Amino acid sequence: MSDNHKLLNNPHKTAAGYAHEIKNPITAVRGLLQLLANPDLPALKRSLYTEIAIEELDRANGLLYEMVHNNPPANRQETTNMKEAITKTTLLFEQAIQSKNLQLETFFAGNFNVQIPKQQLAQVLANILKNAIEASRANGRITISAYTERQFGIISIKDNGPGISPEALDMLFTPYFTTKRTGTGLGLSICQSIIHEANGQITVHSEFDAGTEFIVKLPIC
């Protein structure tokens, strides 16, 4: 198998892919530290933010170990609680959401587990939510919904930003394709690779000046 073919199928197992994914928890921890600097922060939230920051640093450390030792984790049959994963991801980006004065709405139709390792689902949700925040205008709205459909759990993350052009939409999951001036073009290709390895699907719908919706579909345990 050629190196290019390996990249297209496993972009998160390349050095550039690891570098991109290590940046996400570092950015998240920076935002949590900004929130923790508030002296009026309630003790319960202070404890929660600290716990999540430690988890994110552990995740970055694990990614570094995999990269240095060329030892990506084997596909494991692990389960993750969908509601817990989404809740933690929204807390990671609370500072970024506040800074743009965004309205975040979450809807959970039941509480269920999906067949994917916790850290991998965290990577996917962080990439998609980060993109939604960046795409949203100030005072915009992001809606996250989780529900079941037959034997699958569904996560929808929708923003009301400017949308994605049809040309860009066709290339969205291609490694190194990006519409951002400082983007790497690896985030969404990594998401797709992770979801496919978990026997799921990821799709995107977008309308000009009406927003973008990412839909992640994963097997229910």
Compute the half-sphere exposure of residue 28: CA atoms within 13 Å on the CB side of its CA: 30
Residue with tokens 């809606």: 143
Summarize pLDDT for 35-63 with one digit per residue, the tens: 999 999 999 999 999 998 998 899 888 88
Look at the chain and report how many structural domains it folds into.
1
Residue 183, domain CATH:
3.30.565.10
Q: Locate 201 and state its tokens.
A: 């699907």
Summarize pLDDT for 155-209 with one digit per residue, the tens: 999 999 999 988 888 898 888 777 777 666 688 988 999 999 999 999 999 988 8
What lies within 8 Å, CB to CB, of 150 at 6+ separation is: none
Cα separation of 106 and 83, whole Å?
Answer: 10
Q: Which amino acid is at 65?
A: Y
pTM (2 d.p.): 0.81
Domain of residue 83 covers: 3-219
For residue 148, the SS3 value is strand
Q: Which amino acid is at 121?
A: L
Beta bridge mates, 149: 152
